[in-house]
Amino acid sequence: MDFLKDFPRRMKSVGRYAILMNNSFRKDTWKQYGIETIDQQVNLIFTVLLFLMEYSLKEENCTIDDIAEFIGTVNDHYYKKEYSYDDLNNLADFIVNVILSNSGSAMYFKAYDYEQKEYTEIHINYIANKIVYLDNGIRRTSYYLTEDGYNMILSTMELENNLKLTVHEMLFKLHLERADYGRAVNDIKNVFDQLRIQTQKIQEAMGRIRQNALAYSVEEYRQIVEENIHTIEETRQKFKAHKELVEKRVQEFEEDDINIRTLTTEDEDSLNRLREIESYLVRSLDEHQKILNEHLDLKSLYDIELENYSNMTMVQRFHFKSELYDKVLKDASLLEHMEKFFQPLFWNQMPKVYNMEKAFEMQKRIRKKEIEDETQELGFEAEEYLEEKARLIRERLEKYEKSLKMILEHMITEGSISLSVLKAGIEEEEKQVLFPSLEIFREIMIELLSAGELDISKLKKERSEFLMETPENFQLNQMVLDIIEENNWSHIKKIHILRAEQGQQVCFEQVKNEQGKYKNIRCSDVELWYET
């Protein structure tokens, strides 16, 4: 459990971000300035923090007016939002005094100390302020970054991967020379982690190249190759030297007729840590060899995939539908020569791979799925297929809308409506609209009963706060709003849906289902009424 030592120190770095995000995400004030998403909030906060750091480093005064002016300049060049002078000052005051200063309240983050077995409170403070007098003698408050603010901003600029490995290796060498074996263990673990991360990056890159080599940019390939070469060149010789030094230190403890059982507790602890360091050095050298092998495989794979793509560009292409399908439909005798078309597919020998796991899987019966009446034979072109699919979805949603609209129309005309009254008052043509199919009507009634109450104002607010995609299936709330707005039924505030208290049932005869069969359905009587 040594890796849990100094856990609160790690959590202090995490806490700086956690408290800042918590202060920002729960504030609705952002919406007054057209800032709706978390991404926009965080980008603007750190933009202001960088501005504060710039003034703090120069030891210049930084007032709310200066911050507001800076936000205005950034907005004019990039965000293009319409802010007045007062908006900019209010936004700057909100970011500085509410988000970063927590409205003047102290900010604490609780981190668990595994050595003390209790939570410890860590004080977080991003900015501080002081009273200054400007040239004209006006008294103002100037803001500057604290140590926590500096550390958080500086941590956002991470070292390049090559430098990370070099820095960890330098720290490891320093602590090893000073016989600080506890820190040296952590350093060599960090070095090993960086090597393992590099291996995983190569494997992920190879996976992306196999999927689509053109989607893996030349810049990404250049960067990972440079990182691999740096790791291969710099790591092996240094680690061999470190391994020899560690082995020498271990030998010093074991030589000169020293009995290990007579070592002091401190010496025994040092010996155990040296052996742990030695094991990680061996694993790091193995990981180094793996990186070398993966690097060569990556280069070979990338060359082969690009060559395959270049060869594909030389292959003559033709339009499948017009050059083959349409011609066969016109002249069926062409089917006699189809082997000439399929023969090129069998020139290359197919790879034979047998998955042993499939032999021990439970065998399941494959059942054919029922095909809906709307399913039609589509063309071979992807674009035509998508258009046809979209058309079928629109037609199905229109059936839902017409049925639901009829129910709402009768409800508005009578003030309230029930299924029993609706059955007695509709003609045969209206029945076809109300029951486009048994399944559609059943789904509408289930959704209405599940909702129980539809508050139109709440539904409108919910729709305005979220970006809604075009639905591919029945959405009761969305469809009710669309019907009300299309028919100008703005006087409707709430719609109530309830099963009839008497427990009566309503029977509808000869209702067609989606398989084309006619059935009689018996369901509970449902009442609908609305408030204005």
* Whole-number pLDDT of residue 375: 45
Tell me the mean pLDDT in the region 177-190. 83
Same structural domain for residues 125 and 166?
A: no
Domain count, the chain: 3
Q: Is residue 208 situated within a structural domain?
A: yes
Contact (CB, 8 A) for 485 and 464: no
DSSP 8-state code for residue 336 = G
Alpha-carbon gap, residue 162 to 158, rounded angstroms:
11
What string of DSSP letters covers 31-52? Answer: GGGT--SHHHHHHHHHHHHHHH
Nearest to 151 by CA among 59, 6, 53: 53
> How many CB atoms neighbour CB 348 within 10 A?
7
Same structural domain for residues 35 and 66?
A: yes
Exposure pattern of 43-63 as b/e (b: 16+ CB <10 Å)? Answer: ebbeebbebbbebbeeeebbb
501: left (phi over 0), alpha (psi -120 to 50) or beta: alpha
Same structural domain for residues 99 and 168?
A: no
Q: From 289, 312, 335, give the residue that closes a domain.
A: 312
* Whole-number pLDDT of residue 501: 66
Q: Is residue 386 situated within a structural domain?
A: no
Q: What is the CATH number of the domain that holds 226?
A: 1.20.58
* Whole-number pLDDT of residue 376: 46
Considering the chain, what is the average pLDDT of its residues? 80
Alpha-carbon gap, residue 31 to 243, rounded angstroms:
59
Per-residue pLDDT for 21 more than 90? Answer: yes
Residue with tokens 């205005």: 72
What string of DSSP letters covers 94-143? Answer: IIIIIIITGGG--EEEEEEETTTTEEEEEEE--EEEEEEE-TT--EEEEE
Q: Can you give the residue range of the structural domain that contains 278?
A: 161-312
The answer to which of 87-96, 242-251, 380-389, 429-438 has the lowest mean pLDDT is: 380-389
**Which of 93-107, 127-141, 194-208, 496-510 is predicted most confidently?**
93-107
Residues 6+ apart with CB under 8 A from 236: 285, 288
* Whole-number pLDDT of residue 327: 87
Same structural domain for residues 26 and 94?
A: yes
Same structural domain for residues 79 and 166?
A: no
Q: From 280, 312, 344, give the residue that closes a domain.
A: 312
**Burial bucket for residue 216 (CB in 10 Å: 0-12, 13-18, 19+):** buried
Tell me the angle at which helices 382-414 and 476-486 cross, rounded to the nearest 10 degrees: 70
| Beta-bridge partner residues of 122 | 109
Alpha-carbon gap, residue 176 to 182, rounded angstroms:
9
pLDDT single digits (tens) 385-438: 677 777 888 888 888 888 888 888 888 888 888 888 877 777 777 777 778 887
* Whole-number pLDDT of residue 98: 94
The answer to which of 224-228, 313-317, 451-455 has the lowest mean pLDDT is: 313-317
Same structural domain for residues 147 and 172?
A: no
> How many CB atoms neighbour CB 31 within 10 A?
10
Q: From 126, 155, 184, give the residue that closes a domain.
A: 155
